[in-house]
């Protein structure tokens, strides 16, 4: 008999200092996770204030206590144990999940704020899969999505993995403000997987049999005990033999989105058809007076010009290939209408929309050539000006 748990992770489009909007997206993700039967929901790093507002704002808070505990701790439920690491800790040579796994943690979580870099998404997948392949266990990764009010683009791609295999994976580029992933997995699969790795069992033994000072440099992680259980139903005293239901188990997924890097800067528009367009559209959707004009003009023009390929644009296209996110929903359309200040506007094609959003200006000098003038004219024509 198994011991199934349903867990949720998410990708949220949070914005710096948009506390009310951030709160609504957090609440919506919790509602969706609960509706899907999840007993635990993981959100991205700094999801309340958003990543740009939280960077560098980590000064210590005053405390009436003379000493306070500092370091990693774990949550112990009646049927499992949850440990957390944050963002970059997944990439370090000695990640916290290594010692947590040896101390009995079965579920690892990572609230991440990982921005997009070419070929970085598949590196995340490899690291998460490798972490659970070596240590056994379930790994939840949550991430930010969108621009967060700055030049960086957070590309989502939340995921759930177990024992070296990915069981749920979110979209890498999407205009959805809230994306929630759930997976129903069996904790008994984690326990049996770990029991089969003899080298891991040898590493665990000295940590469990400590008559005096710790034998390893890292002492056991302090834990906070919770009364609840992660599995559905009542917890049986025969822990390994309890049947808690929890719905059908999630099938493993294959990560098949490893895009080739562009050969040169001129190839960015065609060789990377998703990220650049989504970045520029997401930038204009933020709260307050935002828009593409706040960024480098040449970069925006290049990004906007690539929207002229309707089969690859995130707005208003019905000819998207399966590997690219579907057209945006009504919420995205409402944001686009706000950007152009027309309540009934619907884009005919990406090029027409870009012509409404951007204006080009060729500022020639005595050193300018006919070639640069022709290029500026061609660029203006490509983006609908």
Closest CA relative to residue 4, chosen from 178, 331, 250: 250
When pLDDT is averaged across residues 249-268 and rounded to a whole number, the result is 51
Residue 109: band (very low, low, confident or very high) from pLDDT cuts 50, 70, 90: very high
d(CA 79, CA 107): 11
Closest CA relative to residue 347, chosen from 277, 271, 272: 277
pTM (predicted TM-score)? 0.73
Answer yes or no: are the C-beta atoms of 178 and 29 closer than 8 Å. Answer: yes
Predicted local confidence at residue 66, as pLDDT: 63
When pLDDT is averaged across residues 353-358 and rounded to a whole number, the result is 80
Work out the number of other CB atoms within 10 angstroms of the CB of residue 17: 13
When pLDDT is averaged across residues 213-239 and rounded to a whole number, the result is 56
Predicted local confidence at residue 312, as pLDDT: 45
Which secondary structure element, helix H or strand E, spans residue 224, and what is its range?
A: strand 223-225
Answer yes or no: are the C-beta atoms of 379 and 360 closer than 8 Å. Answer: yes
| 327: its two tokens | 């057209």
Predicted local confidence at residue 263, as pLDDT: 39
Which secondary structure element, helix H or strand E, spans residue 9, and what is its range?
A: strand 4-12
The CA distances from residue 339 to 51, 59, 164, 173, 357, in Å, are: 24, 37, 43, 20, 8
Predicted local confidence at residue 110, as pLDDT: 96
Which secondary structure element, helix H or strand E, spans residue 140, and what is its range?
A: strand 138-146
Ranked by mean pLDDT, the top range of 1-5, 157-161, 216-220 is 157-161
- More confident position, 74 or 34: 34
d(CA 330, CA 333): 5
Ranked by mean pLDDT, the top range of 22-26, 173-177, 276-280 is 22-26
Show me where the domains of the chain are located.
Answer: 4-241, 265-382
Average pLDDT, the chain: 75
- Say yes or no to pLDDT of 144 above 60: yes
The CA distances from residue 344 to 333, 334, 336, 357, in Å, are: 10, 9, 10, 16
> How far is Cα of residue 55 from the mean position of the Cα atoms in its chain?
17
Predicted local confidence at residue 376, as pLDDT: 87
Q: Determine the 3-state secondary structure of 244 from DSSP.
A: coil
- More confident position, 286 or 242: 286
When pLDDT is averaged across residues 213-240 and rounded to a whole number, the result is 56
Answer yes or no: are the C-beta atoms of 16 and 49 closer than 8 Å. Answer: yes
d(CA 244, CA 124): 32
When pLDDT is averaged across residues 308-328 and rounded to a whole number, the result is 47
Closest CA relative to residue 29, chosen from 176, 161, 151: 176
- Say yes or no to pLDDT of 166 above 80: yes
> How far is Cα of residue 331 from the mean position of the Cα atoms in its chain?
20
- Say yes or no to pLDDT of 260 above 60: no
Pick the CATH number of 4-241 from 3.60.110.10, 3.90.1150.10, 3.40.1410.10, 3.30.450.20: 3.60.110.10
Residue 63: band (very low, low, confident or very high) from pLDDT cuts 50, 70, 90: low
| 320: its two tokens | 């998207």
| 335: its two tokens | 């944001």
| Burial class of residue 237 (count of CB atoms within 10 Å of its CB; 0-12, 13-18, 19+) | exposed
Looking only at the bridges linking them, the beta strands covering 40-42 and 4-12 are parallel
Predicted local confidence at residue 303, as pLDDT: 52
Predicted local confidence at residue 255, as pLDDT: 56
Predicted local confidence at residue 245, as pLDDT: 41
């Amino acid at each position: 008999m198994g011991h199934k748990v349903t867990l949720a992770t998410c990708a949220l489009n949070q914005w710096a200092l948009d506390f009310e909007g951030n709160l609504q997206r957090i609440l919506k993700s919790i509602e969706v996770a609960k509706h899907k039967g999840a007993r635990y929901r993981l959100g991205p790093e700094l999801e309340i204030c958003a990543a740009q507002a939280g960077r560098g704002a980590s000064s210590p808070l005053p405390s009436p206590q003379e000493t306070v505990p500092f370091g990693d701790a774990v949550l112990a439920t009646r049927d499992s144990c949850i440990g957390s690491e944050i963002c970059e800790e997944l990439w370090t040579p000695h990640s916290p999940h290594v010692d947590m796994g040896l101390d009995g943690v079965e579920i690892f979580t990572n609230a991440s704020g990982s921005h997009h870099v070419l070929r970085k998404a598949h590196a995340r997948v490899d690291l998460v899969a490798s972490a659970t392949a070596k240590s056994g266990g379930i790994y939840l990764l949550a991430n930010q999505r969108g621009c967060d009010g700055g030049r960086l683009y957070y590309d989502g791609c939340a995921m759930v993995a177990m024992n070296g295999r990915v069981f749920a994976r979110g979209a890498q580029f999407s205009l959805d403000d809230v994306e929630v992933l759930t997976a129903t997995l069996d904790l008994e699969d984690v326990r049996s997987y770990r029991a089969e790795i003899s080298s891991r069992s040898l590493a665990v033994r000295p940590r469990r049999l400590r008559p005096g000072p710790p034998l390893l440099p890292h002492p056991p992680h302090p834990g906070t005990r919770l009364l609840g259980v992660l599995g559905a139903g009542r917890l049986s005293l025969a822990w390994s033999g309890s049947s808690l239901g929890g719905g059908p188990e999630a099938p493993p997924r294959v990560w098949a989105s490893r895009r080739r890097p562009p050969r040169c800067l001129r190839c960015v528009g065609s060789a990377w058809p998703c990220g650049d367009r989504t970045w520029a559209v997401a930038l204009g959707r933020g709260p307050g007076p935002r828009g593409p004009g706040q960024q480098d003009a040449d970069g925006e023009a290049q990004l906007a010009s690539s929207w002229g390929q309707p089969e690859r644009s995130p707005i208003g296209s019905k000819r998207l290939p399966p590997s690219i996110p579907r057209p945006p929903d009504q919420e995205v359309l409402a944001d686009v209408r706000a950007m152009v200040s027309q309540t009934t506007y619907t884009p005919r094609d990406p090029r027409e929309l870009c012509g409404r959003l951007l204006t080009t200006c060729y500022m020639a000098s005595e050193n300018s050539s006919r070639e640069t003038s022709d290029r500026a004219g061609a660029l203006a024509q490509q983006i609908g000006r």
